[in-house]
Amino acid sequence: MQYEGNIYKMRTELASPVNYFLPIGENQIAMNALIGKEIKMNFTGQINCISCGKRTKTSFHQGFCYNCLQTAPEASESVIRPELSKSHLGIARNLEWAQKHDLVDHFVYLAVSSEIKVGVTRNHQIPTRWIDQGASYAIKLATTPNRHIAGVMEVFLKTHFTDKTNWRAMLKNEVAENINLDEEKEKVIQLLPAELKKYIEPDNSTTAIEYPVQQYPQKIKSIGFDKIPTIKGVLKGIKGQYLIFENDTVLNIRKHNGYFLQIEY
């Protein structure tokens, strides 16, 4: 089979294991079916901005041209740092966009990979966000009415939990053991000040996530199309937004949003 077109981060479906689909042009490749098979991926040299669609020599912030990096609402700094969102004050790059993305319910959560991580995501991004980060378990901490409040809570909890994923440990499947997320959530409730405690999410269920991996890498070698235009190898698994190939090589698909590829298998 052969496909070509601009690629975007993989779409996921929560199952046991997670189902992955790679958007390429007008098509989607069911990636789980390719595990154990050889894939050839060729970068043509063309990159298109995921916001405006124009060709760009350099991709910024996982898929934007420089102009959209500076102006597109989906590239604003509050995407990375939710506490900086000012949409609730009527201030945003695009208020119409903010109404649909910032001024909606957000979840603050705890996720477990190599350690416990605190994070924020929009209401419709659960469990997608957890899967994209390669989490093995996760639980909702709080539901807030906008992005800013969720960010404030995250900043408060950063003194007790990391807000980063150790991607190398995640890809080696080094999962933190003996963690009870119900107990961790109870600790969070005791830590929070009263003005934030009122947003605690009553749902205490833990989501467990299994990934389609035949073999985890032992010594990781990250590869990318900017240095290696043609990547070829047997796919051993998928975790987070990474393809895991033989010989311990890994490819971050999300990093290459907007890259025009030719794929055959």
Q: Where are the domains of the chain?
A: 2-64+213-264, 76-208
Residues of the chain with pLDDT > 70: what percent? 100
Give the 3-state secondary structure of residue 91.
coil
Average pLDDT over residues 34-49: 98
Indicate the pairing of strand 242-245 with strand 19-24.
unpaired
**What pTM was computed for the model?**
0.95
Sign of the torsion angle spanned by Cα atoms 191, 81, 173, 238: positive
Q: Is the peptide bond before 17 cis (omega within 30 degrees of 0)?
A: yes
pLDDT, tens digit, 9 for 90 and up, residues 169-224: 999 999 999 999 999 999 999 999 999 999 999 999 999 999 999 999 999 999 99
- In b/e form, how buried is each residue of 47-64, taking b as 16+ CB within 10 angstroms? bbbbbeeeebeebeebbb
* pLDDT score, position 79: 95
Residues of the chain with pLDDT > 90: what percent? 100
Contacts of 250 (CB under 8 A, 6+ apart): 171, 217, 220, 221, 222, 223, 242, 243, 244
Q: Work out the pLDDT band at 32, boundaries 50, 70, 90.
A: very high
Q: Work out the pLDDT band at 132, boundaries 50, 70, 90.
A: very high
The two tokens of residue 18 are 């997670």
* pLDDT score, position 263: 98
